[in-house]
Structure 1
Amino acid sequence: MDHFSHEGFDLAFLDQPPVVAGSGAPVLMIHGFASSHFVNWVSPGWFKTLTEAGYRAIAFDNRGHGLTSKSYDEADYTPSKMAGDAVALLDHLGIERAHVMGYSMGARVSAFLALAAPERVATLVFGGLGIGMVDGVGDWDPIADALLAADPETITHRRGKSFRAFADQTRSDKRALAACIATSRELLSEDDMARITQPTLVAVGTTDDIGGSAAELAALMPNAESFDIEGRDHMLAVGDRTFKKRVLEFYAEHPL
């Protein structure tokens, strides 16, 4: 892992060149809540998939996650600030424009990035987050309580229990994640989505009860299409082979 600094955070990132001849176009990947570059992008095979298809694969650990430094201040975790980290990484690497792919919280950060710095974003892939980007899809407030619970056996909220188990599995800083979940869920309006004009692929698992409809979100955007990741829930959709295949097709259809 390499590192760079932005707004007082030491951010860890991975940058791998293509392993075969290809365009070498950069793909910046932004992971989801309580995850990391490794959990979302390395372990499920995205780095292998992209570099073997001739792309430059780049991912970083969001502030409060993975090998990046942590904060316990909720104000540090707005999607706008995390999108600023992504721009700072592109600056650090001297990349003017990239394909941007985000999963779950990372999809939301990617949308904020496209609105704040549209000239830096060639295409977008929103994985694991559909209309939930606009309407929120469900009750997230108990997740912070679950993350901070002294005894995980006392957690009764189903989604809270699931995210606590995921945070424990990834050995995350649960206090930092509790701060993050408080402010990283900022919603975008329908008008916001209509202002995102880059070619966009919205992909959500058909058994995902978190992300909301991919088709409904794509319908709000002028240049978007949806893709159903068949039989996959929120946790498993990210590594699905049909999702990877569709993303490669999408990049071929919209070269940098």
Structure 2
Amino acid sequence: MEFTTSDGLTLAYDDIAPPDYERAILLVHGFVSNRNEGWKRTGWYTALERRRFRVIALDQRGHGQSATPHDPAAYGRDKQARDVVELMDHLGVNRVDLFGYSMGARVAAQAALTWPERFSNLILGGVGDKLLNEAGRPRSDAVAEAMEAEDPAAISEPFLRSFRQFADEQGEDRAALAAFSRASSPPLDVAAFGTLPMPVLVVAGSRESNGDPEALAQAFPLGKGVVVPGCDHFSAIPHALTKAAVFDFIDGVLDDPWAR
């Protein structure tokens, strides 16, 4: 399925609504991923449907089957966050649980800061307390250059090389990903995390390069952090313990009227 954003881009999405669904959740994938690779192949669609969730997932601009403009001006976290809410409006959905992973977690956090009334619960995966210290971080074109390199073997940084190889495996538009990487986004307003009214789960692997999820969770009034043992940034998302953490969090929130 597709919808058109207010700035004219066509974005692809899935909306899987079992007849007896009890809650809706919107999934926001990470950089160089897409809704199929980030959520369906990793078992999240099936796991959520079994729990009677309505599952909504989009391919973010520049990714998957969505529009892939090559102009950095088409991108930025504010536009990505607006895409989330415009998809909800397109579907006539007033409130959802929002789950973002990696880059998608930053988008989810921005959406929650801008439209807190639209989200019942916020789940941030693949991030940690390094998110609190991104202000003043020097901008780097290294990711864009990795996407533009003619030979991925020439990319010296293993983490960047893995992203490039993943982009090639997914058949992503690397010129769009390079433009995406060069877009300018201000740091998240982490001081405003303390104003968010919804429960927040931060979950990441014990070998996560983005820092400690439990330390990040302390920035939210109703924050909870979970570390998935033995996992890194990439292996945590499909892991059964990550799914268990998400469902335990949502079940606990539903059982706790004060947290609502």
Q: Structure 2 length normalisation: TM-score? A: 0.91
* Contact 2:10 2:67 survives alignment (8 Å): yes
Deviations 1:198-228 (A, max 9, x none): 100000111122x221112111111101000
Structure 1 partner of 2:257: none
Query: 2:27 and 2:185 mapped to 1: Cα distance?
Result: 19
SS at 2:15 equivalent: strand
Deviations 1:147-200 (A, max 9, x none): 100111211122211111111111111111111122376422431322223100
Query: 1:185 and 1:232 mapped to 2: Cα distance?
Result: 29
Structure 1 partner of 2:33: 35
Amino acid aligned to 1:228: V
Query: 1:172 and 1:201 mapped to 2: Cα distance?
Result: 30
Query: 1:227 and 1:46 mapped to 2: Cα distance?
Result: 18
Amino acid aligned to 1:74: P
The alpha-carbon deviation at position 135 of structure 1 amounts to 2.2
SS at 1:254 equivalent: helix
Query: 1:202 and 1:46 mapped to 2: Cα distance?
Result: 17
Query: 1:215 and 1:184 mapped to 2: Cα distance?
Result: 28
Structure 1 partner of 2:17: 17
* Contact 1:41 1:47 survives alignment (8 Å): yes
Structure 2 partner of 1:78: 76
Amino acid aligned to 2:188: L
SS at 2:237 equivalent: helix
The alpha-carbon deviation at position 58 of structure 1 amounts to 0.8
Query: 2:122 and 2:251 mapped to 1: Cα distance?
Result: 13
Structure 2 partner of 1:116: 114
The alpha-carbon deviation at position 236 of structure 1 amounts to 1.2
Amino acid aligned to 1:41: W
Structure 1 partner of 2:218: 219
Amino acid aligned to 1:75: A
Structure 2 partner of 1:195: 195
Q: 1:239 to 1:106 in 2, by over 3 A?
A: same
Query: 2:34 and 2:244 mapped to 1: Cα distance?
Result: 22
- How many corresponding residue pairs? 252
Query: 1:87 and 1:143 mapped to 2: Cα distance?
Result: 27
* Contact 1:143 1:159 survives alignment (8 Å): no
CA RMSD, aligned part only? 1.8
Structure 2 partner of 1:251: 250
* Contact 2:21 2:54 survives alignment (8 Å): no
Deviations 1:52-101 (A, max 9, x none): 11111110000000000111121222111101000011001100000000
- Are residues 1:66 and 2:103 paired? no
Structure 1 partner of 2:182: 182
Structure 2 partner of 1:154: 154
Amino acid aligned to 1:32: G
Query: 2:108 and 2:252 mapped to 1: Cα distance?
Result: 20
User: Which segment drifts farther, 138-147 or 188-197?
Assistant: 138-147
Q: Structure 1 length normalisation: TM-score? A: 0.93
| Identity among equivalent pairs (%) | 35
* Contact 2:97 2:122 survives alignment (8 Å): yes
Structure 1 partner of 2:234: 235
- Are residues 1:8 and 2:1 paired? no
Query: 1:92 and 1:205 mapped to 2: Cα distance?
Result: 34
The alpha-carbon deviation at position 134 of structure 1 amounts to 2.5
Structure 1 partner of 2:89: 91
* Contact 1:142 1:157 survives alignment (8 Å): no
